[in-house]
Structure 1
Amino acid sequence: MKISLLQQMYKDVLAGTLLPKESYYYTSFLNLRVGQSQERDELCDLPSTDGSIRSHQDTVVPTADDVSSNLANMNFSFCPREVMLLQLTLIKMLVAKAESQETEFSTRQKYCEILLLLKETKIDSKLVCLLSSSDQLLSHMASKSLASLVYFQLKEENAVNVTWLTFTLKSLLEFPMHTQVAECLWTLTAVIKDVMHDKMLTKPGILKLLAPLDAVLEGFYNSILQHHFDSQLYSLPFSEAANNLVSFIDVLEALLASRTQLELPLRCQRVLFLKVTYVLNLINSSTHYFIKKKFIMLLKKCVLYKSQEDAVSGSQFLQNPYLKEDMLALSNAVLQVVNSTWLNEIPLGEKASYFGSSEALSGDDSQSGSDQTVLRALSLAVLKALEFKCQNSATEAEIKGNILFLVLFIKQ
């Protein structure tokens, strides 16, 4: 066998054509050759999804050892890294084609059978091992492939992948003792987005996916955001600490979007509202400006969440006590820090922001050196918090106090 066979499989799957040979034949191409040093890593000592694999045809399905032997005999003309990247790409493509209604039914069945047979090769454990690879491209592709398989199993078998779930719980619980958590967060974000894009799976899928992680995600929120962010580790754009924070912001955005799918939100979907003070303190720290900006834009999404929730679900806001409680907690926290010197202590970028660029267009006479995108987001966050506070003020005195606050804010 040569690499040309794997390349031909790639072309066939890309075109969405029916693969002519038996499913286990193609499964052998996708069996990752993870190095022995990686297999001995503690991350590889995770349980894989067991269960007998039944073929839809009267054929003998090879064992995992048989499949490994087939792959070992392949005479690759490319380097192992290129082969593995092609395998990872194929896994993700197979899931996409298997779940696409544009793919013919018989072809979808064949692709699904290949993916189910991959469980015999302990593919999930091998992908988890690759997440910790020093090769960033391999790690990134492994994350995408693993997320696709978790989504596929949730859709086809109505079950959360045990290996992925164990790895995620382990990574989040051991932070900050073990600081390498970004890869775990990448995969979690990708899985949530995949489930959100599937209209048939969204509501039950989100609940089944997040319920086992609910308490752990809240604990991780407390752990990662309670640091003193004046350390140089957080001021460097490419440090591990900064990478963890950026990856966690993506998770928080995904959790915020997923909240519209559940009538009773989980605690991990509410924690950003109820404990927004942690985010406000981080924005006011010496953390790298890019991280601050991402958190400020996330804060803006939070204050606009009420209108988003109403538009998506059509529910009446007053009939959603959790959302009202959460918006009130967020508004109180924002107004409390604004009432101090919080706004004055937030440094803005040196250049104004323009559509698609940080450079001014020719003929633009603007002399502003501040980041207008961030300035607008901060202003909107304060004004929306004040609006909600006024709408929920119980007495005339409270309303007058809020109006006075608005006047003072405008003068700033």
Structure 2
Amino acid sequence: MSFSFKLLTDTYRCLISGSCPQHSPADVAAVLFSSVCGLVSSTAEDVKVESEKQSTSELCCISLTVIDNMNLLLTQDTPGDVTLFFETCLIKLFRDMDVMTQLVHLFQTEDQIIRHLGAKCVSTYVVYHILKSGTVDAVWQQRCVEAFLSPVPGADLDSCLWSLTDVLKRLLKSSHQEVVRSLVSSFDSSLNALCSEFLPEGKKLFTSFPKTSSNHWETTFCLLLDLLEALTASGLRCGFSLPSQRLVHTRCPALLAVISGSSQYFVKKKVLLLLKRTVLQRSGEDWTSGEVLPNIPEYQQLDADVNVLAQTVLTAVEDDWLQSIEVKSVSFFGGTGHVGGDGGEEADFVMLRAVSLLLLKSMEVHVHWAGKPAAAAALDGAKEDYGYLQRLWSFLRRSSLELRNVTHLCHWVSVLFGEQDDDMVEAAKALLSIFQHHRPSSGLDDVAEQEAACASSCNPHCHFLLLLQSISFDHSILLDFLISAETCFLDYFVRYLKHVINDWQGFSRACQRVDKSRRPVALQQSVTRKSRTSGAECSSVQNPPLEPSGAIRLVDYDSSDQSESEDMDISEVDPATSVCEKQETAEATAFVKHKQYTSSECTGALTAVAPQSGQIPGCETSARALACLSELRAVVMRLRTKKLFPYNPSSLLKLLAQVHVCSQQSSN
């Protein structure tokens, strides 16, 4: 085995164990440099042995892995002698030998493994260097800027895009806001020039690239989309002070043109998901740390940018953009197929959810910025917004057989979003905002207003009841949502409770309407899919039992009010904290372990509560919904009494108590 391979193996093992290698830093740096450059600094005999056992590319891969681990090790807490040893190695490599120049040359290599390892090695060193010195590595920056200013889809541009994205992700994950601002600022002008080429303001996209690079365009464009999300995430956490952080908003027309154009299906899907996360202000939520900063001056620009994005989407919908969107069947190992005909293919619900949420949130932003218009303008606005919903419904019916069979239009939300709780809540919240905005100026009586809302799939009572139905009216799942780190459900739940208190008759009528539909749509959907897989007919689906199903929960809770020996572990928060301040205390998320409900316990609780709930006589939906809210109130009160709730639920309990009073008054 060659000397180089032995030395690199020993160095790698020391990196893993956190110890110093036997060789000197100079020897380690020399072997790493020669391996990266593809040179062999050993005797002819060593070359002969090495040519038989280890290729130059293998040594290069090992060297890149070692350098990458050095960079990672020095960003962690390590013993002083180990830190000093590997810092000396990096100084010799990057300052004395200028290995960065050799590393960025690897961006153009044909070997994809070496190219990726090289980009990864570069990004980890850039993060280490910028955190240590506060400056961006000049060689790497120059290479990336040159690639961005003269973009040609290919290996070099791909590596530059990936490395910059990786650097941003690592810095955002460690919450270095000032460093992120400095980094984005150094690339701001070149990034704007890059997007001018890939996402021009006109509708003729990608005409400036040579034909030889057209086959590689999809890969490069997807890497650009990843970078755009990282830039948007940096704006959410550090402030939207630079144009490059707002590229998704300002280049929205071009992105919509990609979706309706002739690009590959996976590219269209990736663009849609990017726009969905942007309008929801969730960019980078999977890999960033820290909360969005709503109070800094730069953040105020975000509201205007989101409004621009929303108006762009609504304008595109008016121009029949939805009709140009391609929807295939759900992906599987054999690929995908087009939806249509009588083949019974299941539509790609990920695509449909993204389109629906993008439009619904755009409408919500639109009505938020519209404020409180005069009666005539409000009536025109209502017709316009309900027109958007009708266009969306037509698109969904065309794309999905399951949605085509929906008779009560409010059901489509639970059918489409039944597998994605957070998206369902966002959709319900958007529809609630739209309904509340137009309700004061509708000029209709209560009954006609409810009929119009259901005809436009915009009845908030139906959405809430169908949400409860999709979780089998299990209050413990609602409790899971309330104590999670996400505040979306809490916001929606509080707003809906305020609405139902002021519109109890509308709630009662919605219960009767939902009760007529014997099959809970969200549960029927899962059973239907299962029966399709086994070759059964959809018509053979039976009504589900009344007992709560065995839904998967984050936590489980005992139904006994007398239990004093709960085995719970919830971070305690100051009781003075209000419900609206939950986001500030989201870190105190509950971790609760408790006994699971049995069907008999749930049924018993329902039987005990229902007669006192003031439900509509003979209306099962009303009984189960009010029982669910009553049980939720009891559990929250019990947890608050024992100081086990992660925030102060006083406002929430007050609303639940008012709901209980309304139910009692309606039964008298």
TM-score (norm 1): 0.80
Q: Secondary structure at the match of 1:191?
A: helix
Cα distance in 1 for residues equivalent to 2:293 and 2:54: 54
Contact (CA 8 Å) 1:85, 1:138: kept in 2 or not? yes
Is 1:122 the counterpart of 2:98? The answer is yes
Aligned in 2, Cα 1:407/1:185: closer, same or farther, shift over 3 Å?
A: closer
The structure 1 residue matched to 2:31, chosen from 29, 32, 46, is 29
Q: Match of 2:163? A: 187
- Aligned AA for 2:140? W
Cα distance in 2 for residues equivalent to 1:319 and 1:157: 26
The structure 1 residue matched to 2:82, chosen from 96, 103, 107, is 107
Structure having the higher Rg? 2
Structure 2: state its 5+ residue gaps: 337-342, 395-668
Contact (CA 8 Å) 2:34, 2:40: kept in 1 or not? no
The structure 2 residue matched to 1:225, chosen from 179, 199, 209, is 199
Cα distance in 2 for residues equivalent to 1:273 and 1:343: 19
Aligned in 2, Cα 1:317/1:118: closer, same or farther, shift over 3 Å?
A: closer
Structure 1: state its 5+ residue gaps: 37-67, 360-365
- Aligned AA for 1:197? K
Aligned in 2, Cα 1:104/1:340: closer, same or farther, shift over 3 Å?
A: same
Q: Match of 1:339? A: 318
Q: Secondary structure at the match of 1:106?
A: helix
Q: Secondary structure at the match of 2:21?
A: coil
Q: Match of 1:321? A: 300
Alpha-carbon deviations, 1:363-400, whole Å to 9, x = none?
A: xxx93432110011110000000001011104242542
- Which structure would you say has the larger RCO, counting Cα contacts within 8 Å and 6 or more residues apart? 1
Cα distance in 2 for residues equivalent to 1:113 and 1:35: 20
Q: Secondary structure at the match of 2:291?
A: helix
Aligned in 2, Cα 1:203/1:16: closer, same or farther, shift over 3 Å?
A: same
Per the TM alignment, residue 167 of structure 1 is displaced from its structure 2 partner at its CA by: 0.4
- Aligned AA for 2:55? C
Is 1:384 the counterpart of 2:361? The answer is yes
Per the TM alignment, residue 92 of structure 1 is displaced from its structure 2 partner at its CA by: 0.6
Cα distance in 1 for residues equivalent to 2:118 and 2:152: 23
Per the TM alignment, residue 12 of structure 1 is displaced from its structure 2 partner at its CA by: 1.1
Q: Match of 2:387? A: 405
Aligned length: 370
Identity between Structure 1 and Structure 2 (%): 21
- Aligned AA for 1:127? L
Is 1:271 the counterpart of 2:247? The answer is yes
Alpha-carbon deviations, 1:237-277, whole Å to 9, x = none?
A: 99211121111111112112222232343110112112210
Aligned in 2, Cα 1:26/1:407: closer, same or farther, shift over 3 Å?
A: closer
The structure 1 residue matched to 2:186, chosen from 189, 212, 234, is 212
Per the TM alignment, residue 317 of structure 1 is displaced from its structure 2 partner at its CA by: 9.2
Per the TM alignment, residue 223 of structure 1 is displaced from its structure 2 partner at its CA by: 0.8
Cα distance in 2 for residues equivalent to 1:383 and 1:237: 37
Per the TM alignment, residue 110 of structure 1 is displaced from its structure 2 partner at its CA by: 2.1
Aligned in 2, Cα 1:404/1:126: closer, same or farther, shift over 3 Å?
A: same
Is 1:131 the counterpart of 2:107? The answer is yes
Per the TM alignment, residue 180 of structure 1 is displaced from its structure 2 partner at its CA by: 4.9
The structure 2 residue matched to 1:149, chosen from 125, 132, 138, is 125
Write out aligned runs for 1:4-403 (5 A): 4-33=6-35, 75=47, 76=50, 77-101=53-77, 103-119=78-94, 120-176=96-152, 180-199=156-175, 202-226=176-200, 228-229=204-205, 239-305=215-281, 312-316=291-295, 320-349=299-328, 351-352=329-330, 367-394=344-371, 395-396=373-374, 397=377, 399-403=381-385
Cα distance in 2 for residues equivalent to 1:288 and 1:278: 16
Q: Secondary structure at the match of 1:313?
A: coil
Cα distance in 2 for residues equivalent to 1:6 and 1:266: 43
Aligned in 2, Cα 1:317/1:379: closer, same or farther, shift over 3 Å?
A: farther
Cα distance in 2 for residues equivalent to 1:215 and 1:271: 12
Aligned in 2, Cα 1:376/1:357: closer, same or farther, shift over 3 Å?
A: farther
- Aligned AA for 2:226? D
Contact (CA 8 Å) 2:20, 2:81: kept in 1 or not? yes
Alpha-carbon deviations, 1:12-58, whole Å to 9, x = none?
A: 1122222344322211121044669xxxxxxxxxxxxxxxxxxxxxx
Please provide the CA RMSD for this pair: 3.3
Cα distance in 1 for residues equivalent to 2:210 and 2:383: 38
Cα distance in 1 for residues equivalent to 2:362 and 2:210: 28
Aligned in 2, Cα 1:69/1:408: closer, same or farther, shift over 3 Å?
A: closer
Per the TM alignment, residue 234 of structure 1 is displaced from its structure 2 partner at its CA by: 12
Cα distance in 2 for residues equivalent to 1:122 and 1:342: 52
Cα distance in 2 for residues equivalent to 1:72 and 1:393: 77
Q: Secondary structure at the match of 1:312?
A: coil
